[in-house]
Amino acid sequence: MKLTITEEAASWFKDQVELDEGDTIKFYAKYGGSSPIQSGFSLAFTPFETPDNPGVKTETSGITFFVEETDMWYFDGHDLTIRYNEDKEEIDYDYEDPEKDS
């Protein structure tokens, strides 16, 4: 799985969650909500968590974004790109199946 955070999305996290360089965002599977890849689950995030056993980790604009190995099942092999949506003034989660793109 590949995790990509655009610079604009990282800026949104810094502004909305009041993050500084060196801070972290953990993404995890949450029961309830909706998702295009998992029925009955959605993606959530929490700030200021220390990675324990990350399945994927990336850094953008000085912020570390990660998913723990225990939550990797949620992505079902999909890559995740997080972008800032100017029209909605919030972030969008874009799931891509690398098998379909090859």
Q: Please state the domain count of the chain.
A: 1
Domain of residue 13, residue span: 3-101
Question: What pLDDT shows up at residue 34?
Answer: 85
Please give the average per-residue pLDDT across 57-76, as a whole number. 97
CATH number of residue 9's parent domain: 2.60.300
Q: Are 84 and 57 in contact (CB under 8 A)?
A: no
Question: What pLDDT shows up at residue 102?
Answer: 53
Q: Collect all residues with Cβ–Cβ distance below 8 Å to 16 and sequence separation of at least 6.
A: none
pLDDT at 73 over 90: yes
d(Cα 38, Cα 40) in Å, to the nearest integer? 6
Q: Are 61 and 11 in contact (CB under 8 A)?
A: yes
